[in-house]
Amino acid sequence: MFTNVQYGSTSDPEAMDVCSVQENCAWVIDGSDALFPTHITEAAHDGEWFVKELNMYLKQNLTNRRWSIPDIMYQGMQHIHRRLLNYPTVLNCCDLEFPNACCAVVRVLHSRLYYFILGNCELIITHQDNTITSYSDLRLQELDAKLLELSREMHDKKRMPLFTARNFMDHLLVENRLRRNIEGGYYVLGEDATVVKHALTGSMPLHDIKSVSLVCNGFSKYYNCQKVTTYLDQYLKQERSGEFVELYESMLTKKKKNEKLARYMQETLSGQSTVVFFDVNEVNQLYRRSE
C-alpha cells in the first residue's frame, strides 16, 4: 500500500515530534509543553509524554475500520486524559497548563484516502498528473499574520515608532496563544476531546494519488517561541484587560486571512519541520474484495 517511505527533519533535538507509517495508515504528531510552565508527568516534558501516548494509541486503534478517524481521535483523547488524571498534580491544573499536540493522519479505506489534520501540520498530495495539493491548519499562524499586519499599519499609517509597534506585536503574540481551543482562535489536541470536530477532514480517490507527504512544522518552538516566553508574565500582569482585549478582537475581525503571510510567520518563529514521504500503490484485488 505505502512504499518507498522516506523521513527527513530540520528540527532540533528537543522537538517533540514523531512519524509512523503502517500498512494502510500513517501519521505525524507534533507536541508541545503547556503555555504556562508546569510539570505533570514523570517524563522530561509533558509534551513528550502526550505524543508518546497518542502515538501508541494510534498504533493500536487506527486500523479499526468500524470507526472513522475523528471517532478514533476522540476516543484517544478521552483515553489519554483519563491516564493524565492519574497524576495527583493534574487536579490543580487549568486548561493552559496541559500539554498539546498537533497531528496529520491518513488512512486508506474503501479505495479512498481519508485525512484528519488539526494544528500545525500539513498533508501534501502529489497526484498522478504531478499536480500538488496541500492541506494545512494555519489558524494560529493566521492570527499571528493578522497581528503582523496590524503592527505594520500602526507604524506606517499612525507614524508609531517602530519599537512601539514591535512591542505591541510581541505582547499580542501571547494573546493569540491564549485563544487555544476557543471560537475565533485555533485548535490543538489536549485535555478536551471535543476539539476533534474542528479538524480538517476529507477523503479522495486512491487512484488519483501518486505520493503523500505528512509534515509537522515545529509546533513546540512556534507555540512557546522565545518572544512568548519573554513577555508572558509581563503581558498577563500589566497589559491584559477586558477593554484591551476587546479592542484587539475588533481589529482582528477587520483583517482577512493571508496564507502567504501565515507561512512567513511559521518560518520566522519556528523554521523547523519533520516530514515523512511515501508512494501510494494501487490496492490489489484481494484487498478490494476484503473491503
Instruction: Convert the pLDDT of each residue in 92-145 to its tens digit.
Output: 898 899 999 999 999 999 999 999 999 999 999 999 999 999 999 999 999 999
Q: Which positions ≥6 away from 12 have C-beta within 8 Å?
A: 221, 272
228's grid cell: 512568548
Maximum Cα–Cα distance for the chain, whole Å? 69
What one-character DSSP code corresponds to residue 155?
H
Rg of the chain (C-alpha set): 20
More confident residue, 79 or 151: 79
- 89 contact partners, CB below 8 Å, separation of at least 6: 38, 39, 40
Average confidence (pLDDT) over 276-289: 64
Report the share of the chain in percent with pLDDT over 70: 95
Residue 225 — φ and ψ, nearest 5°?
-65, 165
Average pLDDT of the residues in 211-231: 90
Residue 246 φ then ψ, to 5°: -60, -40
pLDDT band at 163 (very low <50, low <70, confident <90, very high): confident
| Residue among 43, 16, 27, 32 at smallest CA distance from 190 | 32
Q: In order of start, what are the domains of the chain with their CATH numbers?
A: 1-137+187-222+272-291 (3.60.40.10), 140-186+226-269 (no CATH)
Query: Considering only 190-199, 219-228, 262-271, 276-285, which range has the smallest mean pLDDT?
Result: 276-285
* pLDDT value for 143: 94
**Span 155-176, average pLDDT:** 80
Cα 274 to its chain centre, rounded Å, is 13
Burial of 178 per CB tally in 10 Å (0-12, 13-18, 19+): middle
Reduce the DSSP state of residue 133 to 3 states and report it: strand
Query: How far apart are the C-alpha atoms of 224 and 227, rounded to whole Å?
Result: 8
Which pLDDT value is given to residue 285? Answer: 34
pLDDT in tens, 17-44: 999 999 899 999 999 999 987 899 999 9
Confidence (pTM)? 0.90
